[in-house]
Amino acid sequence: MSSRSALHPVPRAGSRRPLTALLATGALLCSGFAAVAAPSATAAPARAAAPVAYIANSASDSVSVVDTATDTVTATVAVGDGPSGVAVTPDGGRAYITNRGSGSVSVIDTATNTVSATVPVGSGPFGVAVTPDGNKVYVTNFLSDSVSVIDTGTNTVTATVPVGGLPNSATAAPTGDRVYISSGAAVSVIDTATNTVTATVPVARPNGLAVTPDGTRLYASSQSAGVATVIDTATNAVTATVPVGNTPFGAAVSPDGSRVYVTNIGGHSTSVIDTATGTVVATVGVGDTPIGVAVTPDGGEVYVTDSQSGTASVIDTATNTVTATVTVGSGPYAVAFTPAAAATADIDVDVTARPSLGLLVPYITYTLTARDLGPNAVTAATVTATLPPGTTATALSPGCTATPGTVTCAYGTIAAGSGVSKTFRVPLHLLSLGTVKVTGTRTTSSPADPNPANDSASASCTVISILLTTCT
């Protein structure tokens, strides 16, 4: 058996090829001489879009697209021969898939879930990483001992970097200045500015790589040693080894950097490492031959690809238990997620009016309501009401200020599905006859409001006399 085939210890069930391990406004309400419009009903808050998982199925030459909100496959994309690695661009627009048997990388447009480009690379492409700026993709060529660098603007190879023998996994530093490559007996450090190897760190049979969000530590699963090796990225020196399960393979770090998850091929399990103590705090049983692993952008779930089971196990990170098993293609290897969607909050502005009539101090009370339709909470907002010319409001709610013709109200936190109301009065006089219209408009808010259609509303009152006014 050659040295290359020796690194492929686990047969793949149903595979055509041997496993390459490493792998209302409503009706008017009448009261005496005053008529008042009913407040509009509150809509249910919108739901934030869940990230999408892309899973490379090495034995069925496809990629399963999984909706993580429902843990169901929503699409299956045909790619090249033996897809083994997945990386998604920071904007979520494209997924790069390494095709081990085809010597190529398939580029999937995530909006349409179709292959938009195929990029020839080296022999036996396996691991893949995208730089944080989204401009470069680094692909390990397992059989040609090199790394191909793809320009994402043109989807062409712009450099080929020689590295150690049998390169498999790749991961980029959060700063984007370095890419780490695991190979047969070491981890290579590539300077992304020059595309040269600047350091080589000896590690026993490294496979999966995961760098902490602060970039200070790199975790490498050491297949032959049964440990996760911890590397100080400032010195490129090994500072610790953490015993995990049998034949560790994949590695992933939580978004907050507190946990590292390592798949154990021989143990059919995933080890959970506390990065503060450098110890395993849980071992989670998963499917047969777990290979790939990734953590959702919110840190709430971990997906583990069970290569021999044809499934992905979903781990709840709060309880370290498997809460779902998703059937995907044959021989699933790698998994990656689209990034978390930017927070948004749809503010629905509503204005209602209620007259208070009489001979002494008649006025109309206007209620300015900002409702958060979601999906996220409002952290701050302002709504400005435009009054009839020359009118100055009185009796303002806290947070509101008035100038002739306008009222501006500031709102603090508003939970999704909730609303906050502010009130002010428009005085009436003996000669205040005709229409008194007030329009409220959202002027600022955070996070961004994705729907301007409901940012403005009006309420009008018809003043017949200070004793008879109707409002709608």
Q: What is the largest CA-CA distance in the chain?
A: 103
Kindly state which CATH superfamily the domain 52-337 is placed in.
YVTN repeat-like/Quinoprotein amine dehydrogenase (2.130.10.10)
Is a pLDDT exceeding 80 seen at residue 171? yes
Least confident of 67-81, 183-197, 236-250, 335-349: 335-349
Distance of CA 340 to the CA centre of its chain: 1
Confidence category of residue 56, pLDDT binned at 50, 70, 90: very high
Confidence category of residue 434, pLDDT binned at 50, 70, 90: confident
Measure the CA–CA gap between 202 and 286, rounded to whole angstroms.
30
Q: What is the pLDDT of residue 294?
A: 99
Is a pLDDT exceeding 50 seen at residue 359? yes
Least confident of 22-36, 59-73, 426-440: 22-36
Least confident of 339-343, 393-397, 451-455: 339-343
Domain with CATH 2.60.40.10 in the chain: 28-45+343-471
Nearest to 460 by CA among 354, 368, 345, 363: 354
pLDDT digits (tens, 9 = 90+) for 26-49: 222 222 233 333 344 445 555 557
- Determine contact, residues 392/426, Cβ cutoff 8 Å: no
pLDDT digits (tens, 9 = 90+) for 440-458: 999 999 999 999 999 999 9
3-class DSSP assignment, residue 429: coil
Domain 28-45+343-471's class?
A: mainly beta
Contacts of 101 (CB under 8 A, 6+ apart): 17, 80, 81, 82
How much of the chain, in percent, has pLDDT values that exceed 70? 88
Nearest to 210 by CA among 169, 247, 162: 169
Measure the CA–CA gap between 195 and 189, rounded to whole angstroms.
10
Domain with CATH 2.130.10.10 in the chain: 52-337
